[in-house]
Amino acid sequence: MDQIIVQILNGLDKGSAYALIALGLTIIFGTLGVVNFAHGALFMMGAFCAVITSKILSASHKIVDETRTDFLGNPLEVDTFYVQEWFGMAAGQTIMEWAVPIAILFAVPVMILVGFAMERGLIKHFYKRPHADQILVTFGLALVIGEIIKYTFGANPIQTPAPPAFTGSLDFGVFLGFEAQTIMYPYWRLVYFFFSAMIIAGVFAFLQFTTFGMVVRAGMADRETVGLLGIDIDKRFTFMFGLAAAVAGLAGVMYAPIVAPNYSMGLDFLVLSFVVVVVGGMGSLPGAVAAGFLLGILESFASMPVVIDVLPGINQIIIYLVAIVILLTRPRGLMGRKGVMEE
């Protein structure tokens, strides 16, 4: 029993990442009808926003400390962080340690701008082209973004630690009446899960309860009619692209402490999140979220030693296997709508 709970918990954080990326993908697909293979790259850019923020916050310069000397008797040069100079030692230290959460503030506007630029500059010209062309051009874009990141930040993963308040693990089993130390769950993963749940809820609430969201949903259902009613639906869809980019970016920012960002993480996540979208059903937002969590949890179950003993290697292929089975038995995915991508 405790093993099962551990696996569910382990699946949650990966599932949250899948769900967030798949959510963004589905928003873009549902509104603009574009298959965005560069979405993994947006996720990666989010993660690198965290890297950049933590680099900026820990920018330092050397000052000469007259009171201390090094072993040769010269005045000692000390690395001083700007934030510590400005906000005092303790506060500066805290700011540096909380770089990842602070990066959210930085990432949201950046990612929205990136999303706007992408939609206006590139994707706009591909609405009328076949889906294959959309896949290809965004795939090319993903390669280019990955290479730019590689050139700027190098090929090695960059560690971005979570704030010290969230290091360590929560003894989750105690709450459920298990013995201590049986179910341990890192705090940051818990934070990640709640954070994604909040974002998912926020996106759904935005679409469901605001006028803007209502218009967007109407546009998703019948773009032409909404346009005929005198609403500039294109502008709103562009905004939705920015929102989707921001969602992917936030998923990336908060994921940085879990997996150290490197230039290939975008493509790694892209493949899986596409499988997630297809399993959930193209164009269905709840489907994307449900499939994200489902596949994340399935993946962690499949990597239990008990399962691997029976079916070796299953943890590597479970997601693809599920995708194949679902696509063949339920052609529209778990919650796909009728008439989406069925030409």
Partner 1 sequence: MFGLTKKDSTLMLVVFGLVMLAPFLLNPFPEGSGMAQFNAGYPDLMQRFVIFGIFAVGFNLLFGLTGYLSFGHAAFLGIGSYAAIWSMKLVTLNVIPGILVAIVVAGAFALVVGFVSLRRSGIYFSILTLAFAQMMFAMAYSVLTPITGGETGLQIKNTDTPLFGGPVDGSIGRANLFGYEMGNSMELAVGNHLFTFNLGYYIAGFFLLLAFYLSIRIFRSPFGMMLRAVKSNQQRMNYTGLTPKRYTLSAFVISGMYAGLAGGLMVAMDTQVGPERMFWTASGEVVIMTILGGAGTLMGPVLGAGMIKYMENIISKINKDILHEWFAFLPDGLEDVIVSLVYPFIGKGWHLTMGILFMLVVIFLPGGLVEGGQRIAKLFRRNKTADTQDATSRTPAE
Question: What residue ranges bind partner 1 (CB under 8 A)?
Answer: 35, 122, 125, 130-133, 135-137, 139-141, 143-144, 146-148, 150-151, 267, 271, 274-275, 278, 282, 312-313, 316-317, 320-321, 323-324, 327-328, 331, 341, 343
**Minimum distance from residue 38 beta carbon to partner 1 (Å):** 10
Nearer to partner 1, 184 or 314 (CB): 314
**Minimum distance from residue 129 beta carbon to partner 1 (Å):** 8
Nearer to partner 1, 226 or 282 (CB): 282
Dihedral sign of CA atoms 326, 332, 337, 341 in order:
positive
Nearer to partner 1, 171 or 268 (CB): 268
**Minimum distance from residue 312 beta carbon to partner 1 (Å):** 5
Contact predicate 44/252, CB 8 Å: yes
Q: Could you give the 3-state DSSP secondary structure of residue 156? A: coil
Which of 196, 216, 184 lies closest to 292, judged by CA? 196
**Minimum distance from residue 18 beta carbon to partner 1 (Å):** 14
Nearer to partner 1, 177 or 313 (CB): 313
**Minimum distance from residue 23 beta carbon to partner 1 (Å):** 17
Owner of token pair 């965004």: 138
Q: Are strands 60-69 and 184-186 parallel, antiparallel or unpaired?
A: unpaired
Residue ranges of alpha helices (H) inside 33-185 are: 39-57, 82-87, 89-97, 99-121, 131-153
**Minimum distance from residue 296 beta carbon to partner 1 (Å):** 17
Residues with Cβ < 8 Å from 163, sequence gap 6 or more?
97, 98, 100, 101
- Residue 116 CA, chain-centre distance (Å), reads 18
The one-letter amino acid code at 245 reads A
Contact predicate 247/27, CB 8 Å: yes
**Minimum distance from residue 12 beta carbon to partner 1 (Å):** 23
Nearer to partner 1, 66 or 309 (CB): 309
Total residue count of the chain as it appears in this document: 343
Which of 39, 16, 13 lies closest to 244, judged by CA? 39
**Minimum distance from residue 243 beta carbon to partner 1 (Å):** 22
Nearer to partner 1, 47 or 322 (CB): 322
Nearer to partner 1, 145 or 246 (CB): 145
How far is residue 39's CA from residue 249's CA, in Å, rounded to a whole number? 9
Question: Which run of H or E residues covers position 275?
Answer: helix 265-280
Q: Could you give the 3-state DSSP secondary structure of residue 77? A: strand
Nearer to partner 1, 290 or 322 (CB): 322
